Structure 1
Amino acid sequence: MKQMDRRLLILTRLREETAFRAADLAEECECSVRTVYRDIDALCQAGVPVAAMPGEGYRLAPGYHLPPIAFTVEEAVQLLLGSDLAHGLGTPEQREAARSAAAKVEAALRPDTRAETDRLRHRIRVSDWMRREPTPWLSLLQQAVANDQVLWLQYHSFSSDELTERKVEPYSLIFYGEDWHVVGYCRLREGMRDFRASRIRDAQLLPERFERMAGMLLAEDRSRSTPEEVRIWVEQSAVPWARETPAFGFDREEPAEGGAVFVYHAWDLRRLLPWVLSWGASARVLSPAHVA
C-alpha cells in the first residue's frame, strides 16, 4: 500500500469512536508497527491531534472533527455493493483497492447512517458465487488497454472450435455476460472483434505500441450501444423453467398463445443459441428473421 493511501486509511480509522491499537492498524495496512508509529507522527506534525489512549490505542482527540462526508443511506449502500462486485470480479490488487475504498466509506458515515447501512447490507448483498478467481490474464489485459500495447493471444474460437493465434490492438476491456471482454482490432481478421477473456488460452504483452483509430472505435461503440432484439416463444410447460434460468440479456416476458414470449437484447446472437437449443421443440425463435 502506498504511503498516502496508508495514512489516509489510518486517518479514517482514527475518526471512528473506537480506539485502534498500532498492531491492528499495522495488520490492516499490511505494514510494520514501526511504520504505523511513523505515520501517526507524520499526521501529528501535519496538525492532526492524535490521542494515545492508555491500554486502548489511538484515536482523534475529543472535540476534533474532520469535515464530514454526508453520504445518505442509499448512497452508502450502493457504493458498498459496488465494492462487493468489484471484489468478486477483479485482480488481487483490485480486490485490495475495493476493500480499502469500502473501509473509507464506512469510516466516513455518521453512526446512525452506518447502523442503517449495516442493517440493509445484511438484506441486500452480492452472492458469494461472484467471488471467483478472475481470468489469469486480467492484469495483463488491463495493462495493454491502458498503455495502447499490442497483444498476442492464443484464442479458442467459439464458431470454428479451434485455437488461433492473433495480434490484437486492444481498445477497451468490458465486463458483460458474466465475463470480461477485450474489444479491439484483430490483425488476423482485419477488423474489430470481441474477445472473451475465458476463451484466451495464452497471452503476451508485445513491446509494440499502436495508434488508436477513432473512427473504428466509434463504430464499435455505436454497434455495441444498439443490441438486437430477439423474441423467443416458449411452450407453456417449459415457461416456469425458462423463468428460473434466463439467458444473459433478458428484458421481459410477454403472454402468448400456448406459452410465453421471452424478449432478449443481445449483441452476439450466438450467445443465445445454447439457451434456445436446450429447450428442444419447446422453444423457437420468432425474430429477427435471419435467425428464425
Structure 2
Amino acid sequence: MTNNKEISTRIKRLIQIVQEIKTNPSQTPEQVYQKFSISKAQFYKDKKSLSAIGVDFFYNRKAQRFEITRDAYIPVNHLSISERLCLILSMRQLSASGDYLLTVEGLNAARKLAADLPGPLRENAIMLFDTLVLKEGFGCKQSVMEKLQQSIMENRRINIDYQKPDKQILNNQIVDPYIIFFKRRALYMEGLSLSERGVRMFRINRINAIRMTGEKFTRDSSYDFTQRHKNAFSVFAGDKTEKVVVRFNKAVETYIQETLWHNSQSISTTKNGILFTVHVAEPKEVLWWALGWGASAEIIEPHWLRQMARDEIKQMLKKYK
C-alpha cells in the first residue's frame, strides 16, 4: 500500500521533472534518469502520469532536445474578484522571499488572472500588476519581460543595453537567452553572452532595452542550470569553484551548525569554535555573509579573501573614528 510519504515524494518528482525539462531541454533522457536516480521504466511511468494531468513532452532525437507539446490550461472557477486581486498582488511578496524557478510561472499565472477579470476591472488590474508587481516589486519593464520570454521560447538572439552596477554608461551585449529565474528578491536572465564569450547572468531590471537581431540560436548542450547554480553561495553561479574556510567562535557556532547554508558545506569542531568550509563559485559572497557575523567570524582561506576581509574591516574602522 502506498503511504503519504511515497505519494508526496512522487508528486515532488513529477513537478521537478517538468521544471528540469523546461530549464534544461538539451539534456538526454539518460541524464534525466540519472539526475533523479530513477530507472528508465520509472521515468516513462512518470511521463505517463504527467500526460494524464495535461503535460505532454517527447525527446526530439534529431534536434537533440526535449519538446513540450502540451501544457494544459485549467480554467479557474469560483474565485471572487477580491480573491483574484489578492492573488495577483500577492506575487509582489515574492520579491522579498525565496529562490524559485517557478516564480516566473507564477508571474505568468498572475497576469492571466488579471486578464480574466471583467471588462471594467481588466485594464486597471493589468496596470496594477505591471506597476506594483513588475516595476515596484522587481524593478522590471513589462516590455522587456515580454521580449525576453518571446526570445527564450523562440530561441532568438537578442541585442541588449545593460546597466552594470559599477558603470555609468550602458553596456551593449549580444546574448542567446536561456532562462528567466528568480533569486534573492530579483529576476534574472541567464544566457550565452557572445560579447563576453561565456554564460552570464543579467539582472532584468538593469536591462534598459532589447532588440531582436533576426538570428536564431541553438542552445549549448553542455549548459545545465541546476548544476551551475549548485555552486552559488548566494546569487553568483559558475562551473568552477574555490574552497573557502571561515572560523566561527563558540558564541555563534550553534546558529551556524543548525542551518544548511550551502550544499557543499562541512563543519569541524576546534578548541575555540568551529571551522566552516564550502566550495563556491564566488568566494566574495561568503565574505559578505561572514562580515554579518561581526567579530564572531574570521576568514581563514583563501589568503586573498582573508586580505580582502582585512582591507574591508580597516575601511569600516575609519567610519567609526
Q: TM-score, normalised by structure 2?
A: 0.42
Q: TM-score, normalised by structure 1?
A: 0.46
